[in-house]
Amino acid sequence: MSSQAIELVLRRDRVVMVAALVAITGLAWAYVLWLANDMAMGGMDMTGFRMIPAGMGLMMPALVPWQPTEFIFVFVMWVAMMIGMMTPSAAPMVLLYARVGRQAAMQGKPFANSNWFFGGYLLAWVAFALVATLAQWGVQRASLLTPTMESASAIFGSALLIAAGLYQWTPLKHACLRQCQAPLQFIQRHGGFRRDAKGSLGLGIRHGAYCVGCCWALMALLFVGGVMNLMWIAALTIFVLLERVIPAGHMIARVAGGVLIAGGGWLLAAALIYR
């Protein structure tokens, strides 16, 4: 096959892959929008109740323990949010994997389908969603969230801001960020492209784990601005994308860390003064 024909095939595959990633992201965001619209409830007084993110106007008395069904709804909400927020950042890596895999297939040395790699990446974020669900359960039991899942305590909110800001300056944050910023180098450092599905899935899980290590503290800020606050979710999504695709991502992370620490300190001081 001529080089021109190969390039045409690769371009077509790239369009298909981009369309698939856009569709996955769009579906996740559509679900989150549906939940957020349901939880708005037209400004109803929710005193004594909490909303269940099911898209069906479900509520429970605030003091009633979580039921298994509520846990599942909250878990699905977190999974959808993580897919919608993190797929755009993963797109460069997935597209690179698909392109190289297609070239290898044309040379008679096929790699495992890139879907295995992307599936592994998402599995890491599904695991994070489970941890986030457990964290939300604990935070709600401590009465630190409002019925619509926003921080109910200025001290709690300021502590999260300061903790997230400090994490932005840690060596662990920047070690994980380096792994996320350079797709090809990451694959080369961890054994190269895989020919078997299990190896590709494992490589995706490892990449996802580095991304969780890079972004978990930022995701915790959803408890500050509101788990279903669409503007807050969008802002964090854009920030995570900028951190990973802009060469000055490490500097952006440090500047953001300083801003978060300052904002958390101001909020904490105001809370202590006006208690």
Q: What is the pLDDT of residue 196?
A: 85
Query: Which pLDDT score, from 0 to 100, does residue 251 have?
Result: 93
The confidence score (pLDDT) of residue 104 equals: 67
* pLDDT recorded at residue 192: 79
pLDDT of residue 259: 94
Report the C-alpha gap between 94 and 25 in whole angstroms. Answer: 14
pLDDT, averaged per 10 consecutive residues of the chain (275 residues), comes to 50 74 93 87 65 80 84 95 93 82 70 84 96 94 83 89 96 93 84 84 93 94 89 92 87 94 91 76
Write down the pLDDT at residue 40.
73
Residues in the chain: 275
Contact (CB, 8 A) for 250 and 177: yes
Return the exposure string of 226-265: e unless at least 16 CB atoms fall within 10 Å of the residue's CB, then b: bbbbeebbeebbebbbebbeeeebbebbeebbeebbebbe
The torsion angles phi and psi of 210, rounded to 5 degrees, stand at -65, -40
Q: What pLDDT does residue 6 have?
A: 47
Structure tokens at 225: 């601005």
Please state the pTM of the whole predicted model.
0.90
Name every residue whose Cβ is closer than 8 Å to that of residue 183 and which is 6 or more positions away in sequence. Answer: 92, 93, 96, 97
- Is residue 133 a contact partner of residue 75, using CB atoms and an 8 Å limit? yes
Helix axes 230-245, 68-106, angle to 10 degrees: 30
**CA angle 190–79–179, rounded 5-degree value:** 25
**Where do the domains of the chain lie?**
3-273
Closest CA to 246 of 171, 164, 187, 177: 177
Distance separating alpha carbons of residues 84 and 233, to the nearest angstrom: 10
